A and B are shown apart, each in its own frame.
Chain A
Amino acid sequence: MVFLTREEEQMLNGEYGAAAQEAMSILVKLAEAYDAERMIPAKSAHVAAGLFLEEIEWYEKLIQGGAKFRCFTTRHPWGIDYDHFEEVGTIYGNTPEIKQIGEQIFGYSLKMGAIPMGTCIQYLLGDFLMPGDAFSWTGSSGVVFANSVLGARGNMEGAVTNYCVGITGRVPEIRMHLDENRKGQVLVDCSKIDFNGFTDADYGALAFHVGKVVGDEIPVFVGLPKKMNLEQLRAIASPLHVSGAVPMFHIPGITPEAPTLEAASGGQKLEKVQVDMGDVKATYDEIATTGGDKLDMVNFGCPHLTYKEIREIAEFLDGKKVHKDVKLWVGTSYQVKVVADRAGWTQKIENAGGLLVTNICMGPGAPFAARGMKIVATNSPRSAYYASGVEHLYGSTKDCLEAAISGKWRGK
């Protein structure tokens, strides 16, 4: 039986309203299923909504039961690009009725008190986590990043749990919240790889390969460059739970709880996997679902792009024109777009014929097929895996941009 504090008991008994009672009762069942000893305070929740209309019934019930988020809770993209709704649309279409339903469903999370960030990179835009902080997030790339790079603690959890954690401010102390479940289990030796000129897509392919090899175990990377930037770390984090079911990784010297290899492994001798450039290159062909030189779209933004990535794209496109038969979508959050507007990056991208889209999922919820796209090129293994109804080409940012201009894919 899970131990509950007096306040948690009161939530379960309905003294904090029907919504807190329902949320706590779901979390208690979860705690019991995983033999948790107790609940712990959650610092952050991240919620999504809107794939199924039936969800509305649950949100209505929660709102009527007085649902208010008790911990800092942010909202995932809700699929309405307010600058280009007709052109971008949603997976369900781009009619005013669809927009209205989207707004209605978004309204529930706003009413419960979510910060309407409309992005999957909430951790870069003010959802501030420190080592040891507990979180419950939708979006596997953020979960892997926060566990591994920020040293915060969270599980790959379902959307229902994210709401329950937000509403109660508590999370069962299970799986990744416990020290013993966070130790590295497989040593991934990258020391044979020359990282000079290693691109974002190379990092993505490396991580996609590793996810496939380690399955649901926690990899410890050695032989990577000593200093790594945000974009590189994210490129490693994002594919690991796509090809595999990896909740976190360790890079000794970077992962907060792993200053050394010994700390990462908990002193255990680990099974070793060697990864070389041949593995990385071979993985390109696994990520891509088609070949040839034809394409009708280039997309970036799974996960949403950072300032630096947008600037790189804008500078490349400055003075150029995207081919008339190719659409170019660059996806980010609208906070980042405000800066991009001010810096002139948006104008450079849009003068070239591309779109800087916001509040849109460029992975599992991407409306590419709904807009009639058939073959799309990306630098994101995650988008290539999840964006359904289209064929995918995979290459670096530069490969993708060159294809957007020439109208022909030249490949990796």
Chain B
Amino acid sequence: MSIRLKGRGLVKGKAEGEALVSNQPISFVGGVDPNTGIVIEKEHDIEGQSIKGKVLIFPFGKGTTYNPFAIFAMKKRGTAPAAIINVKTEEIVLTGAILAEIPFIDKLDKDPLKVIESGDYVKVDGDTGTLEVTKKRS
């Protein structure tokens, strides 16, 4: 049983992977270890989890203007997420995703933070702005 969500694809390309859902803004500089992809920000709701290869779903970006290069560097080191899904687009995450060629979707017709749970399997199509979510077995 899969769920389809439709939004706006701002960076094209296809990707798929396990969902990692955070309800908090993420800073890639200082908040994530670029060598491992593990979230290191203290008291973050996904602290200790790896964003590497995941379909990363969070509200929006935060932090310094250096975030785009952090995302780019993580892509080159193989620690970047496979795709990024945001509720509200923030310029620093978007430009990082563009540079790193990571599919990026926003403005989904259903709230991805509610519909998708960490561990669900998500197919992302940045060309059409669609997500296909297969719920994990409970």
Complex Cα spacing A388 to B77, Å: 23
Q: Is B64 an interface residue (CB 8 A)?
A: yes
Q: Is B96 an interface residue (CB 8 A)?
A: yes
Count of residues in A whose CB is under 8 Å from the partner chain: 29
Which of B16-24, B51-59, B66-74, B113-121 makes up part of the contact surface? B66-74
Q: Is A158 an interface residue (CB 8 A)?
A: yes
The B7-39 residues at the A interface (CB cut-off 8 A) are 10-11, 29-30, 34
Instruction: Assign chain B's interface to a size class.
Output: 20 to 34
Complex Cα spacing A163 to B56, Å: 27
Q: Is A156 an interface residue (CB 8 A)?
A: yes
Complex Cα spacing A32 to B73, Å: 25
Please name all residues of chain B whose beta carbon is closer than 8 Å to the beta carbon of A33 when the two chains form the complex.
Answer: 10, 89, 91, 94, 106
Q: Is A162 an interface residue (CB 8 A)?
A: yes
The A129-160 residues at the B interface (CB cut-off 8 A) are 138-140, 155-160
Q: Is B62 an interface residue (CB 8 A)?
A: yes
Q: Is A30 an interface residue (CB 8 A)?
A: yes
Choice from B64, B65, B69 contacting A52 with Cβ under 8 Å:
B69
Please name all residues of chain B whose beta carbon is closer than 8 Å to the beta carbon of A162 when the two chains form the complex.
Answer: 65
Complex Cα spacing A140 to B64, Å: 8
Instruction: Provide 24 A-B residue pairs closer than 8 Å at the C-beta atoms, listed in order of the A residue.
Output: A26-B95, A26-B98, A30-B91, A32-B10, A33-B89, A51-B70, A52-B72, A52-B73, A57-B76, A58-B72, A58-B99, A139-B65, A157-B91, A157-B92, A158-B65, A158-B66, A158-B67, A158-B91, A158-B95, A160-B72, A160-B96, A160-B99, A162-B65, A245-B62
Residues of B within 8 A of A (CB): 10-11, 29-30, 34, 62, 64-70, 72-73, 76-77, 89, 91-92, 94-96, 98-99, 106
Please name all residues of chain A whose beta carbon is closer than 8 Å to the beta carbon of B98 when the two chains form the complex.
Answer: 26, 29, 160
Supposing A29-B11, A29-B94, A29-B98 touch, asked if A54 and B65 sit within 8 A by C-beta, the answer is: no
Supposing A51-B29, A140-B65 touch, asked if A155 and B91 sit within 8 A by C-beta, the answer is: yes
Choice from A26, A54, A58, A245 contacting B77 with Cβ under 8 Å:
A54
Complex Cα spacing A205 to B117, Å: 40
Complex Cα spacing A159 to B77, Å: 20
Minimum CB–CB distance for A46 against chain B, Å: 10
Q: Is A37 an interface residue (CB 8 A)?
A: no
Complex Cα spacing A52 to B68, Å: 11
Complex Cα spacing A388 to B66, Å: 15
Q: Is A48 an interface residue (CB 8 A)?
A: yes
A364 near B64 (CB under 8 angstroms)?
yes
B30 near A52 (CB under 8 angstroms)?
no
Please name all residues of chain A whose beta carbon is closer than 8 Å to the beta carbon of B89 when the two chains form the complex.
Answer: 33-34
B73 near A54 (CB under 8 angstroms)?
yes
Please name all residues of chain A whose beta carbon is closer than 8 Å to the beta carbon of B66 when the two chains form the complex.
Answer: 48, 51, 138, 158-159, 364
Minimum CB–CB distance for B45 against chain A, Å: 19
Complex Cα spacing A147 to B77, Å: 37
User: What mask results when residues 24 to 59 of chain A are scored 1 for a CB within 8 Å of chain B, else 0?
Assistant: 001001101110000000000000100111110110
CB-based nearest A residue for B99: A160
CB-based nearest B residue for A155: B91
Complex Cα spacing A55 to B34, Å: 13
Complex Cα spacing A139 to B65, Å: 7
Complex Cα spacing A51 to B67, Å: 10
Minimum CB–CB distance for A147 against chain B, Å: 15
Complex Cα spacing A54 to B34, Å: 11
Complex Cα spacing A160 to B64, Å: 12
Supposing A26-B95, A32-B10 touch, asked if A160 and B69 sit within 8 A by C-beta, the answer is: yes
Complex Cα spacing A34 to B88, Å: 10
Complex Cα spacing A366 to B66, Å: 15
B99 near A52 (CB under 8 angstroms)?
no
Please name all residues of chain B whose beta carbon is closer than 8 Å to the beta carbon of A58 when the two chains form the complex.
Answer: 72, 99
Q: Is A161 an interface residue (CB 8 A)?
A: yes
Minimum CB–CB distance for B129 against chain A, Å: 12
Minimum CB–CB distance for B23 against chain A, Å: 17
CB-based nearest A residue for B89: A33
Please name all residues of chain B whose beta carbon is closer than 8 Å to the beta carbon of A161 when the two chains form the complex.
Answer: 68, 91, 95
Please name all residues of chain B whose beta carbon is closer than 8 Å to the beta carbon of A140 when the two chains form the complex.
Answer: 64-65
A30 near B29 (CB under 8 angstroms)?
no
Please name all residues of chain B whose beta carbon is closer than 8 Å to the beta carbon of A55 when the two chains form the complex.
Answer: 69, 72-73
Please name all residues of chain B whose beta carbon is closer than 8 Å to the beta carbon of A159 when the two chains form the complex.
Answer: 65-66, 68-69
Complex Cα spacing A386 to B30, Å: 10
The 7 A-B residue pairs with the shortest CB-CB distance, nearest first, are A52-B73, A158-B92, A54-B73, A160-B68, A160-B95, A158-B68, A54-B76
Listed residue (B10, B65, B72, B98) with the most chain A CB atoms within 10 angstroms of its CB: B65
CB-based nearest B residue for A139: B65
Known pairs A33-B10, A364-B66; list 15 more (Cβ under 8 Å): A26-B95, A26-B98, A52-B69, A52-B70, A54-B76, A58-B99, A157-B91, A158-B66, A158-B68, A158-B91, A158-B92, A158-B95, A159-B68, A160-B69, A161-B91
Minimum CB–CB distance for B106 against chain A, Å: 7
